[in-house]
Amino acid sequence: MSRWGKSIKSMKIVLILVIMIVIGNDLFLIVKINLTESKVAKSYFSNNYFIEASNEEMKIENFKEYMLMEGWSFSENYYGTIIFRKGNLQKEIPVYRLIKI
């Protein structure tokens, strides 16, 4: 096997390991939500938020409540993006990053 073939094979292995770590982390967070009082958990690898909710409206309300507990104030919901502010900082969270479980 050529040098490039070995390099591509090792890159594929690394990519598979990274994907397994991301999926494993997300599954761990889902289990953590079910075992604790928290209704929200943030994935460190994919920037998604897993939210325990019965419907889409409750998903957004639970997320707003979580951000308020973290010290952020709700600013606005602008075309599928929820905007929070804390002092001079602004955090924009796209609604598609909120995953209902």
The contacts found for 96-99 with CB under 8 angstroms, 24 or more apart, are 97/47, 97/48, 97/49, 98/48, 98/49, 98/51, 98/59, 98/60, 98/63, 99/48, 99/49, 99/50, 99/51
Domain that holds residue 47: 3-100
Mean pLDDT by 10 residues, the chain (101 residues): 64 70 69 67 80 87 89 88 92 88 78
pTM of the model: 0.67
The tally of domains found in the chain comes to 1
